[in-house]
Structure 1
Amino acid sequence: MSMLFDLTGKVALLTGASKGMGLEMAKGLAQHGATVVISARKQEQLDAAVAEINMAAGRDCAHAVACNIGYKEQLQELVDKTHEMAGAIDIVVGNAGVNPYYGPTSDIPDDAYDKTMRANVQSNLWLAQMVVPDMVKKGTGSMMFTSSIGAFKPSLMLGTYGMSKLALIGLVRNLAEEFGPKGIRFNAICPGLVKTDFARELWDNPEVEARIKNDIPLRRLGEPEDFAGLAVFLASDASRYMTGQALTVCGGSNMWT
């Protein structure tokens, strides 16, 4: 087996990983040898996800900690419990995010704006600050955060969400610049429309789905499973010279021209 994608002995911490993309990324990391600690808000969903990951990996390698990423103290508890259960952290997947408001940016209430920015941007900064000492000690590590193709264009109804995801790319670039000399890599993943519960309102209508598919060169929406290999790539030595990048994974809908 090629060692390029081997994650044996590595510890991965994932947020927003009880279902959808986060769960599939956790499965991919576990199948390539990592011990994974997954988090989300609901313990019941996490317990089911742990069983699914262990079955996919063929070994007991997953742990779960309930956490709301909007609260710094809960994130710190997540990191502390990960240390207790699995040891120093080598890989971070910041996949959790929120979209509490659907409408024009000019009309967004202060509390919805603050919640969006705190969960989608600041929580990932907090997580990076908490975990980076583990990686500095080892002189290596990889963090990846889920942004969106919404970062690249304005939107009348999802504009503030897109703003937060563009800010997240900016955070990734700055952290990549700051910690590159320490051997730590930061990258952003920018999905197109993926068939998850989070995005259900955008695709759960046959006519709408057909129209969207027609604008995608691969003629299908994204599936959560499409992101497992990308997580393994970014976590492993296969991407060891890649940092500060925003990887667009959208079936071709958002090609650069």
Structure 2
Amino acid sequence: MNNLFDLTGKVALVTGASRGIGESIAKTLAAYGAHVLVSSRKIEGCQAVVDQIKEAGGSAEAFACHIGEIEQVDSLYGHIESAHGRLDILVNNAAANPYFGHILETDLSAYTKTVDVNIRGYFFMSTKGANLMKQNGGGAIVNVASVNGVIPGDLQGIYSITKAAVISMTKAFAKECASFNIRVNALLPGATDTKFAATLVKNPKILEQAMQHVPMRRVAEPDEMAGTVLYLVSNASSYTTGTAINVDGGYLIG
């Protein structure tokens, strides 16, 4: 049997890939043969990941893009189309969570930033990516959502709302893009040891309280998210679309 996880010849774009979960996903896709565009807001962090991928024998390039800025998204896709002429894999991982506090005290700035990146950014990254995939016979999109999209996180109201929207967006794109051989699925990470989740992970009191609701009683490492994404973008999941996979140590079991 052929290797179901082989991504040789595929062009993959991973946003928010300069660190954390995105970095692990980018390195994993490259290890299985994909040429990976490592994207995030700052080129320096992206280039550092690209250098590590190349040192390990993989193929990658860095491109700075803030997905909350439509002009930058257009520039990124213009580069992909001119340099590669195709996109086979899109992983929407970049996200914003600028506010940690009571929902009633959410100000307009925090609201706008969170929605612009987590909803508008994912939406237009997906429409542009899917249109490019459509021209080349199909592809796979994975949206990194969150368990907070199912059960709102404490003091993370607007972030949780946007992640619920990402889950719904995943299903809508999956339904309408299936005829183009484009599969769209979501990853729902639980508590993961990243800089993004530092408010939770680095606060012993909050962490202890949170772990009471996680049957595995520990925080995930970023690398523990990458295998699920590899499955969702590979031929191993060729009949899987519109699903949301929880990788949460059992948190959503209830």
TM over 0.5: yes
Q: Distance in 1 between matches of 2:85 and 2:26?
A: 17
SS at match of 2:96: coil
- Alpha-carbon contact 1:94-1:145 (below 8 Å) kept: yes
Q: Is the 8 A contact 2:215 2:250 kept in 1?
A: yes
Distance 2:29 2:251 in 1: 27
Partner of residue 71, structure 2: 73
Q: What is the alpha-carbon root mean square deviation over aligned residues?
A: 1.6
Q: Secondary structure at the match of 1:199?
A: helix
The answer on 1:21 being equivalent to 2:6 is no
Q: Give the gaps of 5 or more residues in structure 2.
A: none
CA distance in 1, matches of 2:169, 2:192: 23
Q: What is the SS of the residue equivalent to 2:251? A: coil
CA displacement, residues 52-84 of structure 1 (integer Å, 9 cap, x when unaligned): 12223x14x110111111100101111112233
* Aligned mates of 1:205, 1:192 — CA distance in 2: 16
The aligned residue for residue 32 of structure 1 is: 32
Matching residue within 164, 174, 177 for 1:176: 174
Displacement after TM superposition at 1:142 (Å):
0.3
Structure 1 residue 219: Cα displacement? 2.5
C-alpha distance in 1, partners of 2:182/2:191?
29
Kindly provide the amino acid, as one letter, of the partner of residue 25 in structure 2: M
The secondary structure found in structure 2 opposite 1:157 is coil
Pick from 215, 220, 238: which aligns with 2:236?
Answer: 238
- CA distance in 1: counterparts of 2:108 and 2:138, whole angstroms: 39
Is the contact between residue 105 and residue 156 of structure 1 (CA under 8 Å) also seen in structure 2? no
Q: Give the conservation status (yes or no) of the 8 Å contact 1:70–1:119.
A: yes
Task: Give SS of 2:68's match.
Answer: coil
Measured after TM superposition, the shift of residue 216 of structure 1 is 2.1
TM-score (norm 1): 0.93
Tell me what 1:117 maps to. Answer: 115
SS of residue matched to 1:220 = coil
Q: In structure 2, which of residues 245, 249, 253 is the aligned counterpart of residue 251 of structure 1?
A: 249
Give the secondary structure class of the aligned counterpart of 2:252. Answer: coil
The alpha-carbon deviation at position 154 of structure 1 amounts to 3.2
Structure 1 position 246, deviation (Å): 1.1
2: CA distance between counterparts of 1:130 and 1:154? 29
Match of 2:198 among 183, 190, 200: 200
State the partner residue of 2:132: 134
Q: In 2, are the aligned partners of 1:11 and 1:87 still within 8 Å (CA)?
A: no
2:77 is the counterpart of 1:41: no
Q: Distance in 1 between matches of 2:146 and 2:62?
A: 26
Contact (CA 8 Å) 2:86, 2:136: kept in 1 or not?
A: no
Q: How many residues align?
A: 254
Contact 1:13 1:82 in 2 (8 A): no
Query: 2:51 aligned with 1:51, yes or no?
Result: yes
Deviation at 1:129, TM superposition (A): 1.4
